[in-house]
Amino acid sequence: MHVDCLMKCISHEFSYGTLLLKGMLRMIFLLKLPRFIGKCTFKVVKYGLEFIAMIRTELMIMYVKFGEPGLADFLFKTMVERDLVAWNALIASCVQNGHANKALALVREMDVARTKPDAVTVVSALSACGQLGSSEIGEELYCIARKEGIDCNIIVENARLDMQVKCGNVDMAIKLFEEMPQRNLISWSTMIVGYAINGESEKALSLFDKMQNEGLHPNYITFLGVLSACSHAGLVREGWRYFNRMNNLDNKNMKPRKEHYACMVDLLGRSGHLQEAYNFIKSMPIEPDSGVWGALLGACAIHQDVELGQHVADILFELAPDIASYHVLMSNMYASAGRWDFVKKVRWRMRKKGVRKLAAYSSVELNGNIHVFYGGDRLHPQTQFIYKKLDDLFKEMKSLGYIPKTNSVYHDVESEEKEATLSTHSEKIAIAFSLINVQPELPIRVMKNLRICDDCHTFSKHVSIISKREIVMRDKIRFHHFKNGVCSCKDYW
DNA sequence: CTAGGGTTAG
């Protein structure tokens, strides 16, 4: 495709041209050609097209997708006619690409710029709150929207429901679900997933039946919801039943996709059927992708099957060499097996390929502010009190029989040092911070970007006894509700 | 004259 030709086309035949350019920009993204976007912008500027609102909006979306929200922001700030659609486009693309904080900041800026948000803005804002785990801000924004007379249609209501689900407020979510003026397939799917990730799999499955009794047909996402419900609870037989039901449906559109296979591999593998999971992948009628193999690698890590893990990792390093978590999983497996020579090898390979491990963090919402903690963090103004609190907690739980699980530390260091690393994992700091600051009658809520480790899981159970408080923790894929020393995941995660 | 923006999985 000749870019100049396209630009001329836009100047002459406006509506076709802009649509073509839009299509081209989306294609650049799908084909992963970040360098081409710069060239394209250059041509757009050359032909003076960057002042057309629609084209500039599309460019902004592309820049956010390519991980350059700053450049998108520049295009936005220098836009002549910054209308509501441009605001919404930027906000939505920020949310969809993991810049939830930036999205919320933009929503606040709208007020200053005297642009009145609409339902589309509210949906993105609620989605951002869900990502951040800030139900207080989310509900506040929803109330403001209602007061301002914004039409809260079913999409807004679904976004609100999802926001509560992602904050771990199952009771609130079911209340909203039951009181909704209308419910569509997305409302049901959201609620099913809500139960699943909060550890109430039976309720998720019965809701799935109820939905069908009301005459709604599940789509592929609904099926993913029930399959993940099975996998979170280790319900292998039920999982097979739903998977086979999908396969037996007449609708060709409803044949299991890669994601469903990945879910089944996760279910089989984590419940200990590693070989069955491997054979299942081998028998797939479609090409397994990194998600499918990644699920098996995760299961190998849980069950310490280094041999199979090594085989799977070799496939993954070919298929998706730049995904850090697969390297980290393999490195951790070697470490647990005491194979430090192999650990070094994996680390060396990561460095060579420029793959960087994602730093773990935990965050807590307090009075509408989000406090972020990293492992061993001493940056918070309350650091002294936090560590004092942690110290007291450890003393008390050690007298109750807590033993640090130092095999959760994947570095080749002495055991005292291992214990030190372990005792300052970000979620422990976040819990100590919450114990100091959150009103005693309220549950403690911690959001994590990665999965919780064994030791922090045990720690949280102890804290729920010692402090007589409920702890709600969201990790990368599910919730843990700790109460009286028991976790809602039944120690299966 | 319009065109560009929104919810469910991982």
Whose C1' is closest to the CA of A87: which nucleotide? Answer: B5
Is A408 inside any structural domain? yes
Whose C1' is closest to the CA of A123: which nucleotide? Answer: B6
Separation of alpha carbons A59 and A45, rounded Å: 11
pLDDT of residue A337: 86
Looking at the structure, tell me whether residues A288 and A388 fall in a common domain: no
Whose C1' is closest to the CA of A85: which nucleotide? Answer: B5
Q: How far is the CA of A333 from the C1' of B7 (A)?
A: 39
**What angle is formed at CA A174 by the lines to CA A427 and CA A237, rounded to 5 degrees?**
80
Q: Which residue is nearest to nucleotide B3 (CA to C1')?
A: A15
**Cα–Cα distances in angstroms (integers) from residue A294 to residues A48, A94, A301, A327, A478, in the given order:** 46, 27, 11, 11, 17
DSSP strand pairing (A479-483 vs A486-487): antiparallel
Q: How far is the CA of A59 from the C1' of B4 (A)?
A: 10
Separation of alpha carbons A400 and A462, rounded Å: 9
The yes-or-no verdict on residue A369 having pLDDT over 90 is: no
Contact A71, A78 (CB under 8 A): no
Q: How far is the CA of A478 from the C1' of B7 (A)?
A: 20
**Cα–Cα distances in angstroms (integers) from residue A259 to residues A256, A262, A361, A465, in the given order:** 8, 5, 27, 38
Q: Quick one: how far is CA A157 from the chain centroid?
A: 21
Looking at the structure, tell me whether residues A321 and A376 fall in a common domain: no
Q: How far is the CA of A15 from the C1' of B3 (A)?
A: 7
Is A318 inside any structural domain? yes
Neighbours of A34 (CB within 10 A): 14
The yes-or-no verdict on residue A23 having pLDDT over 80 is: no
Mean pLDDT confidence for A254-272: 94
Whose C1' is closest to the CA of A165: which nucleotide? Answer: B8
Whose C1' is closest to the CA of A121: which nucleotide? Answer: B6
Mean pLDDT confidence for A209-226: 93
Tens digits of residue pLDDT in A430-481: 999 999 999 999 999 999 999 998 899 999 999 999 999 999 999 999 999 9
Separation of alpha carbons A137 and A163, rounded Å: 10
Mean pLDDT confidence for A209-236: 93
Is A294 inside any structural domain? yes
| % pLDDT > 90, chain A | 66
| % pLDDT > 70, chain A | 94
**pLDDT band at residue A188, thresholds of 50, 70 and 90?**
very high
Q: How far is the CA of A477 from the C1' of B10 (A)?
A: 9
Query: For chain A, what is the mean pLDDT?
Result: 89
pLDDT of residue A6: 59
pLDDT of residue A87: 94
Looking at the structure, tell me whether residues A387 and A452 fall in a common domain: yes
Whose C1' is closest to the CA of A188: which nucleotide? Answer: B8
Tens digits of residue pLDDT in A129-142: 999 999 999 999 99
Mean pLDDT confidence for A304-322: 92
Lowest mean pLDDT among A8-12, A51-55, A238-242, A313-317: A8-12
Looking at the structure, tell me whether residues A367 and A330 fall in a common domain: no
Looking at the structure, tell me whether residues A398 and A327 fall in a common domain: no
Backbone angles phi, psi at A480, to 5 degrees: -125, 120
Give the domain-ending residue among A301, A326, A358.
A358
Q: Which residue is nearest to nucleotide B1 (CA to C1')?
A: A15
What token pair was written down for A58? 């599309």
Q: How far is the CA of A152 from the C1' of B1 (A)?
A: 29
Looking at the structure, tell me whether residues A35 and A55 fall in a common domain: yes
- Residue A290, domain extent: 279-358
**pLDDT band at residue A13, thresholds of 50, 70 and 90?**
low
The yes-or-no verdict on residue A371 having pLDDT over 90 is: yes
Nucleotides of B under 7 A from a protein CB: 2-10
Q: CA torsion sign, A69 to A71 to A77 to A82?
A: negative
Give the domain-ending residue among A337, A358, A379.
A358
Looking at the structure, tell me whether residues A407 and A312 fall in a common domain: no
Q: How far is the CA of A273 from the C1' of B3 (A)?
A: 54
Looking at the structure, tell me whether residues A354 and A365 fall in a common domain: no
Q: Which residue is nearest to nucleotide B4 (CA to C1')?
A: A54
Is A291 inside any structural domain? yes
Contact A229, A205 (CB under 8 A): yes
Is A432 inside any structural domain? yes
Q: How far is the CA of A15 from the C1' of B2 (A)?
A: 9
Looking at the structure, tell me whether residues A336 and A435 fall in a common domain: no
Looking at the structure, tell me whether residues A459 and A409 fall in a common domain: yes
Contact A53, A22 (CB under 8 A): no
Is A198 inside any structural domain? no
Q: How far is the CA of A464 from the C1' of B6 (A)?
A: 39
| Cβ partners under 8 Å of residue A296, min gap 6 | A265, A269, A274, A277, A278, A281, A308, A312
Q: How many domains does chain A have?
A: 3
Is A325 inside any structural domain? yes
Is A26 inside any structural domain? yes
Looking at the structure, tell me whether residues A331 and A382 fall in a common domain: no
The yes-or-no verdict on residue A422 having pLDDT over 90 is: no
pLDDT of residue A378: 92
Q: Which residue is nearest to nucleotide B2 (CA to C1')?
A: A15
Looking at the structure, tell me whether residues A382 and A342 fall in a common domain: no
Tens digits of residue pLDDT in A139-179: 999 999 999 999 899 999 999 999 999 999 999 999 999 99
Separation of alpha carbons A50 and A52, rounded Å: 5
The yes-or-no verdict on residue A81 having pLDDT over 90 is: no
Q: How far is the CA of A116 from the C1' of B1 (A)?
A: 25
Whose C1' is closest to the CA of A258: which nucleotide? Answer: B10
3-state secondary structure chain A: CCHHHHHHHHHHCHHHHHHHHHHHHHHHHHCCCHHHHHHHHHHHHHCCCCCCHHHHHHHHHHHHHCCCHHHHHHHHHCCCCCCHHHHHHHHHHHHHCCCHHHHHHHHHHHHHCCCCCCHHHHHHHHHHHHHHCCHHHHHHHHHHHHHCCCCCCHHHHHHHHHHHHHCCCHHHHHHHHHHCCCCCHHHHHHHHHHHHHCCCHHHHHHHHHHHHHCCCCCCHHHHHHHHHHHHHHCCHHHHHHHHHHHHHCCCHHHCCCHHHHHHHHHHHHHCCCHHHHHHHHHCCCCCCCHHHHHHHHHHHHHHCCHHHHHHHHHHHHHHCCCCHHHHHHHHHHHHHCCCHHHHHHHHHHHHHHCCCCCCCEEEEEECCEEEEEECCCCCCCCHHHHHHHHHHHHHHHHHCCCCCCHHHCCCCCCHHHHHHHHHCCHHHHHHHHHHHHCCCCCCEEEEECCCCCHHHHHHHHHHHHHCCCCEEEECCCCEEEEECCEECCCCCC
Tens digits of residue pLDDT in A85-130: 999 999 999 999 999 999 999 999 998 888 999 999 999 999 999 9
The yes-or-no verdict on residue A235 having pLDDT over 60 is: yes
Please tell me the total number of residues recorded for chain A in this structure.
493
Q: Which residue is nearest to nucleotide B10 (CA to C1')?
A: A259
Whose C1' is closest to the CA of A93: which nucleotide? Answer: B5
Q: With 0-12 CB in 10 A as exposed, 13-18 as middle and 19+ as buried, what is A471?
A: buried
